[in-house]
Structure 1
């Protein structure tokens, strides 16, 4: 299964060249990730931190009023980290492929923690190992 986030484009996202600034895509990925990990009835209530981002820019995204789709899924689950893979796209255009390594974190102790069984169960619903091969291409 995949999670879809409809990301609004803001006027301030545009750079001097008339397209969405590459640095803004990190914020778009963050918005999609928070939307995915923060439903009221879901896991990761203790929090998480980003350990790594990898972004491949495929095409310029020109500013417009319509939102852009961010499709995300899980490509790896380890004991204390997992990888979210994203595509920022429209129906006929791919703008960005990206991946983020996320580490569950206990803010009380200020330490990384292991993924709980409930969190693992949630992540497994969105796992798609075969899609990881397409992202690497």
Structure 2
């Protein structure tokens, strides 16, 4: 299994009143890593269909420790499951070398024009497969 590594800078606006990264901002950090893989890296590989429609049907996040303001965090992600019309992305967010959070997101390819879910294409499956656990 290969993990996609994404280094994400933190912003002052990510902090809560206690000086830690706000729990809701963890989803934003995970989203930035997911977008980098599915839109940027997939685009470089010639797979542009993800950027034309993906919706999120589920998030689950485990918060393991607070994250203070630093230069940034590292998000490692991989594909946990691939089904006909959805796939699950798993993540770990590192503060230095410590795992601060783990999460999963279920993504559904979506036909924005038709307003309905669609199946993964062969090219999308082929792109996701090397990242699969």
TM-score (norm. length: structure 1):
0.89
Deviation at 1:55, TM superposition (A): 0.2
The equivalent of 2:64 in structure 1 is 58
Question: 2:37 aligns to what SS in structure 1?
Answer: helix
Residues 69-93 of structure 1, C-alpha deviations (whole Å, 9 max, x = no match): 0000001000000000000004521
Deviation at 1:2, TM superposition (A): 1.0
Question: 2:92 aligns to what SS in structure 1?
Answer: strand
**Residue 36 of structure 1 pairs with residue 37 of structure 2:** yes
5 Å matches for 1:89-108?
89-108=94-113
The equivalent of 1:131 in structure 2 is none
The alignment covers a number of residue pairs equal to 127
Unaligned stretches of 5+ residues in structure 2 = none
Question: 1:118 aligns to what SS in structure 2?
Answer: helix
TM-score (norm. length: structure 2):
0.91
5 Å matches for 1:65-84?
66-84=71-89
Rounded to whole Å, the distance in 1 between the matches of 2:19 and 2:51 is: 38
Return 9-18 or 87-96, whichever deviates more: 87-96
The equivalent of 1:47 in structure 2 is 53
**Residue 8 of structure 1 pairs with residue 14 of structure 2:** no
Unaligned stretches of 5+ residues in structure 1 = 129-137
Residues 15-35 of structure 1, C-alpha deviations (whole Å, 9 max, x = no match): 111110111111111111110
The equivalent of 1:132 in structure 2 is none
The equivalent of 1:20 in structure 2 is 21
